[in-house]
Amino acid sequence: MLFTVLALVVAFAAASESNPHAHGHGRELCGCAKDEPDHPFILDCNNAQNIRDAAARLSAQTPSAAACQATDANGILATQSDFFVIQAHHDYCDHDTLTTAEETLFHDWEDYCLICGIERGYESTQDACPRINCQDTSVIDAAYWILNNTCLPSAGDGHAHRRLSEDEFEWGGIFPDTGTLTAGTYTWVAQATGSPRAFVDPAMKFIFYQVSSASWSEMFSETLHANVNTAFTGACTTANAGDTLVAGTCYNMQFPSTVNQVTFDLTFAAGRVAIFAEHVPTEFEFDTHYLNLAGVDVEPAVQTSDGHCCNNAHQIGAFKQVVAYHDLCDHDDVPYYVETGLHDFEANCEAHFCNAVTSTYDGTVCPSPPAPPPEPPPDSIETTTVVAIVVSIGAVLVIGLIFMCVMISRERQGTPIFTNVENAKPSAPTA
């Protein structure tokens, strides 16, 4: 345990020296926290099932400090471990590793559970993040103003609302993203999200049409939009879980509070289909994509909610500032609008994320404790001094011994070297 503590202190001190605004601010590193016996967890950006499972367990509970501190029969802080999974992957992995619901789940629990320290992983195609001061929000205020006033947020994050006042729908998309659809029965999935899990709305108007192309002009066709608006303002057929829906009919999908997931069968002809909904479908995603054919996800080629941003140097620079504050500052230092701003515009600015770390950084690994300092090399000056002193003392002793021998010999010969002054007689004066 002592070595673990030393490793954390030294590693974090090193990180803080190179980046004073690193995520963590003295917290245990996630790469070390995952190996602690009381809250073990898996940190792997490619293990989607691990993230989905942790999110499902968190969603079944109400966020609280008591839940984070509770231990199971084996003494494991199970809920804390699940939160670490969501938080560590949120901070370390690519921005779309977590679903919209899991992003929300993280913010629901972050005030109650421990947070471990980790940086977003290095990406070779990205530049270094700009230098910032996490306590100075004036820069991020200006950056967010640029994004909020010159960009159109993507609704794919689940936070968007109806943006065109003349339209009765919030979202539309043309499928598939490549090629054409195979004729058959497709599955539309709607799930309860959040913690505890619940549907964001109890019902949703829904309609789809067969279309000839997957172009922007088709997606924003005035005739197509007029047809959808007319249908949504009229009476729509109630659709319950398991019902089969056909093209050209307006349905009012029902999402009962007693279940966490409902599905509907959509009958598609070969070619392409335009789907319009009263709400953004990703708002109803927990761990399953909203449209699939026999379990294979089907993605849209174009969407009304795609938004636009990072089309010029001002927007790109502002987005990088938002990323820098989001990735480099402590969660408590980041204004909520920074988090919202990042997720609102990240889909359109994906090519303009930045690196807060170097290419050698690996947040999944706990740094080794520092090696003990090496023994100091012998000091040549001190050794020489000692030798000189010894030689000098020896020389003095030898000289002293010789002098004593001479003095004794002279005494025996009656010609001592030294004479007693008191016994000495004065010499007679000369004439």
Higher pLDDT, 244 or 107: 244
The pLDDT score that the predictor gives to residue 83 is 97
Give the pLDDT band (50/70/90) at residue 64: very high
> Are residues 8 and 16 in contact, defined by beta-carbon separation less than 8 angstroms?
no
Give the pLDDT band (50/70/90) at residue 425: low
Residues 167 and 240 in one domain: yes
The answer on pLDDT for 16 being more than 50 is: no
pLDDT above 90 covers a percentage of the chain that reads 40
Per the domain annotation, does 291 fall within a domain?
yes
Rounded to the nearest integer, the mean pLDDT of the chain is: 81
| CA distance between the termini of the chain | 104
The pLDDT score that the predictor gives to residue 157 is 39
159-168, pLDDT tens digit by residue?
333 333 367 8
Residues 165 and 87 in one domain: no
360-408, pLDDT tens digit by residue?
999 999 987 655 666 666 555 566 666 677 777 877 787 877 877 777 7
Closest CA to 280 of 198, 192, 173: 173
The pLDDT score that the predictor gives to residue 184 is 95
DSSP string covering 321-379, please? HHHHHHHHS-GGGS-HHHHHHHHHHTTTTGGG-EESS-TT--TTSPPPPPPPPPPPPP-
Give the pLDDT band (50/70/90) at residue 50: very high
Residues 121 and 178 in one domain: no
Span 307-312, average pLDDT? 76
Residues 9 and 48 in one domain: yes
Residues 189 and 275 in one domain: yes
Long-range contacts of 330-336 (CB under 8 A, 24+ apart): 330/21, 330/23, 330/24, 330/25, 330/134, 331/23, 331/110, 331/115, 333/134, 333/135, 334/134, 335/137, 335/140
DSSP string covering 114-174, please? ---B-PPPP-TTSEEPPP--TT--HHHHHHHHHHHHH-B--GGGS------TT-S-SEEEE
Per the domain annotation, does 31 fall within a domain?
yes
Closest CA to 342 of 163, 108, 148: 148
Residues 88 and 39 in one domain: yes
Evaluate the CA torsion angle 58, 63, 69, 70 in order and state its sign.
Answer: negative
The answer on pLDDT for 129 being more than 80 is: yes
Residues 190 and 98 in one domain: no
Residue 49 corresponds to which tokens in the numbers above? Answer: 């099932």
The pLDDT score that the predictor gives to residue 26 is 59
Residues 121 and 159 in one domain: no
The answer on pLDDT for 108 being more than 50 is: yes
> Are residues 170 and 294 in contact, defined by beta-carbon separation less than 8 angstroms?
no
* Lowest-confidence region among 28-37, 159-168, 306-315: 159-168
Residues 76 and 8 in one domain: yes
Q: Which domain holds residue 31?
A: 1-126+354-370
Secondary structure class of 381 (helix, strand, coil): helix
Per the domain annotation, does 417 fall within a domain?
no
The pLDDT score that the predictor gives to residue 187 is 97
Per the domain annotation, does 313 fall within a domain?
no
The answer on pLDDT for 206 being more than 90 is: yes
Total domains present in the chain: 2
Span 262-278, average pLDDT? 96
Give the pLDDT band (50/70/90) at residue 417: low
Per the domain annotation, does 167 fall within a domain?
yes
- In angstroms, rounded to a whole number, what is the distance separating the alpha carbons of residues 381 and 379? 6
Span 183-191, average pLDDT? 96
Residues 118 and 193 in one domain: no
Residues 195 and 234 in one domain: yes
Secondary structure class of 13 (helix, strand, coil): helix
| pTM of model > 0.75 | no
Residues 264 and 177 in one domain: yes
Per the domain annotation, does 131 fall within a domain?
no
Neighbours of 101 (CB within 10 A): 24
* Lowest-confidence region among 234-243, 264-273, 341-350: 341-350
Per the domain annotation, does 325 fall within a domain?
no
- In angstroms, rounded to a whole number, what is the distance separating the alpha carbons of residues 101 and 290? 13
φ, ψ at 126 (rounded to 5°): -110, 150
The pLDDT score that the predictor gives to residue 150 is 79
The answer on pLDDT for 234 being more than 70 is: yes
Burial class (CB in 10 A: 0-12, 13-18, 19+), 85: buried
The pLDDT score that the predictor gives to residue 154 is 66
Per the domain annotation, does 429 fall within a domain?
no
Span 253-262, average pLDDT? 95
Q: Specify the pairing of strand 302-303 against strand 203-211.
A: unpaired
The answer on pLDDT for 266 being more than 80 is: yes
Neighbours of 205 (CB within 10 A): 22
